[in-house]
């Protein structure tokens, strides 16, 4: 299963991306692990205020509810996400439609294709992403 995402600055410009190959799991777990990784990468880069978009509405809903986190099958990952959200100065977490998340979804697909488990950081957007980044820029608010 693949995971991935990207960090953009306040103007919507690419800062960095990541793609990950995870062990097998559900699509929900894939999204939760990618969110956890993305938050950690942001933290490691000194980002303390961020807007986080996910096209997994279930994840957005559950992360906002500590009771549901506690009793979820993936509670360990979800608790780690909540801990990272709590240590940041300001995090806004939103659901977005799949069309608004095409760049991150491209990174997820590339993560699935990686030959081994682990993260690959992407400092410069691949050429294949240029068109998607331009199309996706109107979703950045």
DSSP letters for 4-71: EEEEE-TTS-EEEEEEEE--S--HHHHHHHHHHHHHHHHHHTT--EEEEEES-HHHHHHHT-HHHHHT
Number of domain units in the chain? 1
**Would you state the pLDDT for residue 137?**
63
pLDDT digits (tens, 9 = 90+) for 21-50: 988 789 999 999 999 999 999 999 888 888
Q: What is the pTM of this model?
A: 0.86
pLDDT digits (tens, 9 = 90+) for 60-118: 999 989 899 989 999 999 999 999 888 877 888 888 888 778 888 888 889 888 888 78
Find the CATH number of the domain harbouring 113: 3.30.420.10
**Is residue 13, in this structure, part of any structural domain at all?**
no
**Is residue 90, in this structure, part of any structural domain at all?**
yes
Domain that holds residue 113: 2-8+18-139
């Amino acid at each position: 299963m693949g995971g991935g995402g990207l960090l953009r600055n306040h103007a919507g410009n690419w800062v960095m991306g990541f793609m990950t190959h995870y062990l097998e799991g559900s699509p929900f777990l894939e999204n939760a692990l990618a969110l956890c990784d993305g938050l950690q990468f942001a933290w490691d880069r000194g980002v303390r205020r961020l807007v986080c978009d996910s096209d997994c509405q279930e994840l957005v809903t559950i992360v906002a509810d500590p009771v549901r986190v506690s009793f979820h099958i993936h509670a360990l990952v979800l608790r780690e996400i909540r801990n990272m959200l709590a240590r940041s100065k300001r995090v806004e977490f939103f659901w977005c439609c799949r069309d608004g998340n095409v760049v991150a979804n491209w990174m997820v697909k590339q993560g699935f294709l990686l030959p081994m488990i682990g993260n690959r950081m992407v400092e410069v957007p691949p050429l294949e992403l240029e068109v998607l980044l331009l199309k996706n820029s109107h979703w950045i608010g």
